[in-house]
Structure 1
Amino acid sequence: MDKIGRNDICSCGSGQKYKKCCLAKDDLSASRRREEEHAIQTALSWLEERYPEEVGAVVHYDFMDEPDEERTEAIDDLSPRLEKAVSVNIGEWLLADAELDINGKDVKAHNLILGKGGPPLTAHGRNWLQELANRPLSLYEVREVTKGKGLILADMVRPDHPPVEIREKAATNFLTVWDTFGARLVWQDDSFVMSGAVYPMERETALDCLSEIKSELEHEEGDPALDRYITTSIIIDYWLDSILETKPLPELVDASTGDKLFLTTDHYRVTDWQEFERILSEQDDVDGDRDEGWNRFVELEDGRCRSSASMVQKGSDSLEVFCRTPRLADEAREWLGNIARDTIRYKIREVVDPRSEKAQESAKPLPEPDIPKHVQRQIIHQYLAKHYETWIEIPLGALKGKSPREAVKDKKLRPAVVELLKSIDQLEARRIEQTGGEPFDVTFLWERLGLKR
């Protein structure tokens, strides 16, 4: 996001210039944030200097949950962005929740820092560290986003708590309604803010995390300290799993053969172009010419045709034959050997996984459509309106074969209907981030199903 100028209109919506509106408040917040960051770094440096072994042990065993060799390698291979996120989250966890083993006794790290003999801190710095220790980590759902201003978050672990308004500008640029993440909310001046450590999760992961938290808390007697430990540990575990797991790429299959899709290019040397062109022109299942290239096709039962091989001249004496799978390439090579005889010579084969970086890099960008963007958006809105008009009557696998209208009457399936509606909201918000325009409003679906957002 570009930095707002002093004479620009303030982003808060007041209509005033920034210097006469929120500049002083933002400067004060920035100054306090620097003071808070200094307190955090001072406290962490002090801890690591005086208790290096204890800090290393508690991070390894409690935060990282004693990772095996494979998991340790995954941690080492994290991107710089995720590596920084892990570092920030570990640091805040040390200051707010960690217990160090000091001479056989578990001692809260923040008690060591804020107690007698702790590091020198400003009054505001001490208050900030104390506030971090007072506020538990929890799982939150975004209920509302006001760009450039803040968020309204609902505590998923404590649904009886009312949603909270958060003063947070940066996150409003990328968060959308129903996004989920772990965070610590801290009271600052006259409102809540996010402390700094964030544990973002896909919604499905967050719901699994919430389910495990509830399951574990059901077996406890309501000890606040134990509840906090359980909730914090599970959120950290699920977040670490989500960033460390290696997700297999989806397997792509050729629709016509059922074979795995591997883009296969055979390279040939052409010794007699004139004869080769004549031979191809006599084939009933080949279209094209030397300038545009040739396609060998297969006629389907419904009368349509599907390409089985594409042939393109490359240079004065080279031919490339492209097929979607190695088996199709083998068939094309045998076919060419039978009809072209001595006019071509096979040289080498190149096989590329379409999911690979090489395939992505070589892919040509899609051309901009001729239809104006406002017309494209209008067409999309018309399509979505038609689609969602009948959506509530369509049986869905996610609802055990029932339609949303039927499922909403079932107490066990009603939460699944709500989740589907939330996923639609999220998809629309993400689509608009990429394409611009206005999101398609599905409020009418909630209303027709008798549900509250």
Structure 2
Amino acid sequence: MGTRNDLDGLIGFVGSDDLWRERLADVMDEHLLPAMEEFEVDFEELGDILGETWPMVLWGAAFEDFLGRFYEPDGQNFVDVYLKRKGGSETDSNRAYIEGLRDAPVSLYEVSKIEPGKSMLVRDLLTGSAPVMVREKSATRMLKPWDRIAVRVVPQGDHHVISGALLPFTPDASDLLAEVLRDALNLGKRKKLRLSADQLRQCAPLFSNAWLFESLPGALDPEPMQLANAEGDELLFHDLRFPFAKGVVQKDVMTRLAEMPAIQPAGPKAWNWLAPEDERNNRPTGGLVVAQMNSGNTVLGTLELKGKALILSVNSASRAERGEILIMESLKDLLKRPLSAIQTVDQVMANRDQIDNGSDEEEIPPDIARQIIHQQLDQHYRDTLNQPIPALGGKTPRQSVRSAAGRKKVVEWLKLIENRSANRAGTPLADYDFRWIWEELGLERERR
């Protein structure tokens, strides 16, 4: 006897029938061939390229599509044929699941209200239908709020479940899917996608196509990550140690630092060196930009008093040069010329690993570190609400929510930053609570 949501009987049956096996192979080609031909790869290579689980997920997506197809001349459906011949070997619940899988079209869903190991709310982004709560164990332990997934939602008695073939969609893959769906269905580029179940069934292979065309390029030829600061300079960490001149005490240095407009307090004996206002939006393109912000201004470096020295820490050679000039011009009678220590990103990471592995105790307890970072994020996002955001057309979030169109943009922006934060597993960012931002902007009802 089969168990609930078990497709072994179907898989075995299709393997024993030449006609249905040939039809399944044709569906598989629709899902996989466009990408495999474009990137010149074989199905057997996909596991090594993408990861060993993905070939079977893609096979499952094609198989689920095959289960919902009807063939001429008499409208034959594989599920109907199987249940007529072998249905007696299936439990009632598994039979109902198979029939539900046959009827359920694939779609792109947005995930929210996740209860790990229990359930999640899924909202269909392509049909506009009401959100559905589904019971799910394994996927809910991996998915994060606002993740997007291509999957089938299947009624199961008094509740819903999802099918086994689940493809995670990045924002780029989602955009690509929308583009190919519009082309396939001859829809206008500006018209909101609102597809019928029949249209989704017709376009089922495009979900696999879009996922593969977005996933394969990076897997086949991953570009080395280029780390740069906000000016586009290569990351190279400099610590400049300015020894005190004879007779100088910390209070003398603190008094002089307080007179410098570009130097802002960040702690009892710590300061941020901020970029001028006209450098605020000077951002390079390409690579990964590493930038720390303070009230909208880029933090060019940090200053700290340690014993008889002032330490300037910056992340590029050009900033080290600028910082040395600034400090020596403003405090030249208090400090001596600096001694410099320089480290690459790899050296910094290696040193961090050695510290983590060589010490049983951390300098700052994890709970305290998490609290500090969350407080910094609170301040950062409070500042951000009053700063122009490119994704919002150069308006601030507070300005944008005043119109219906602006509110929609802010909702999408919030979902994006919350999702990216939630996916930073193992860091304090992963469990940062964004609810207060939604409430602050009057969007709490949109957070579903």
Calculate the TM-score normalised by the size of structure 1. 0.61
| Aligned: 1:157 with 2:126 | yes
**1:43 paired residue among 7, 13, 16:** 13
What CA distance in whole angstroms lies between the structure 2 residues aligned with 1:445 and 1:65?
43
Q: Which amino acid aligns with 1:406?
A: Q
What CA distance in whole angstroms lies between the structure 2 residues aligned with 1:66 and 1:258?
34
| Aligned: 1:191 with 2:159 | yes
Counting aligned pairs with the same residue, the percent is 25
Superposed counterparts of 1:114-193, under 5 Å:
114=83, 121-122=89-90, 124=92, 125-159=94-128, 161-193=129-161
Secondary structure of the residue aligned to 1:246 is helix
Say whether the 8 Å CA contact 1:44–1:95 is kept in structure 2: no
Q: Which amino acid aligns with 1:235?
A: F
Say whether the 8 Å CA contact 1:252–1:261 is kept in structure 2: no
**1:201 paired residue among 138, 155, 169:** 169
Secondary structure of the residue aligned to 1:141 is strand
**1:252 paired residue among 212, 226, 241:** 226
Q: CA deviation at 1:392?
A: 1.1
Q: List runs of 5+ in structure 1 lacking aligned partners.
A: 1-29, 263-296, 311-323, 325-353
What CA distance in whole angstroms lies between the structure 2 residues aligned with 1:122 and 1:107?
20
Q: CA deviation at 1:74?
A: 7.5
Q: What's the counterpart of residue 432 of structure 2?
A: 440
Q: What's the counterpart of residue 57 of structure 1?
A: 26
| Aligned: 1:236 with 2:208 | yes
Secondary structure of the residue aligned to 1:409 is coil
Greater C-alpha Rg? 1
What CA distance in whole angstroms lies between the structure 1 residues aligned with 2:419 and 2:406?
20
| Aligned: 1:427 with 2:431 | no
Q: CA deviation at 1:251?
A: 5.1
Secondary structure of the residue aligned to 1:139 is strand
**1:365 paired residue among 328, 346, 353:** 353
Q: CA deviation at 1:198?
A: 0.9
Q: CA deviation at 1:376?
A: 0.4
What CA distance in whole angstroms lies between the structure 1 residues aligned with 2:350 and 2:400?
46
**1:95 paired residue among 55, 67, 70:** 67
Q: Are residues 371 and 259 of structure 1, via their aligned partners in 2, closer, same or farther at CA, if it must alter by over 3 Å?
A: closer
Q: What's the counterpart of residue 32 of structure 1?
A: 3
Say whether the 8 Å CA contact 1:150–1:167 is kept in structure 2: yes
Secondary structure of the residue aligned to 1:193 is strand
Q: Which amino acid aligns with 1:443?
A: R
Q: Which amino acid aligns with 2:391?
A: A
Say whether the 8 Å CA contact 2:110–2:123 is kept in structure 1: yes
Q: Cα deviation per residue 1:354-400 (whole Å; 9 max; x = unaligned)? A: 89xxx999887253341011110110121111111221110122223
Q: Cα deviation per residue 1:155-213 (whole Å; 9 max; x = unaligned)? A: 11122x22111111112211111111011111223211112111211134225534654
Q: Which amino acid aligns with 1:192?
A: H
Q: Bigger relative contact order, structure 1 or 2, given CA contacts below 8 A and separation 6+?
A: 2
Q: Which amino acid aligns with 1:417?
A: V
Calculate the TM-score normalised by the size of structure 2. 0.62
Say whether the 8 Å CA contact 2:423–2:430 is kept in structure 1: no
Say whether the 8 Å CA contact 2:14–2:20 is kept in structure 1: no
Q: Cα deviation per residue 1:191-250 (whole Å; 9 max; x = unaligned)? A: 111121112111342255346546765749x99564133442332222222332326425
Secondary structure of the residue aligned to 2:166 is strand
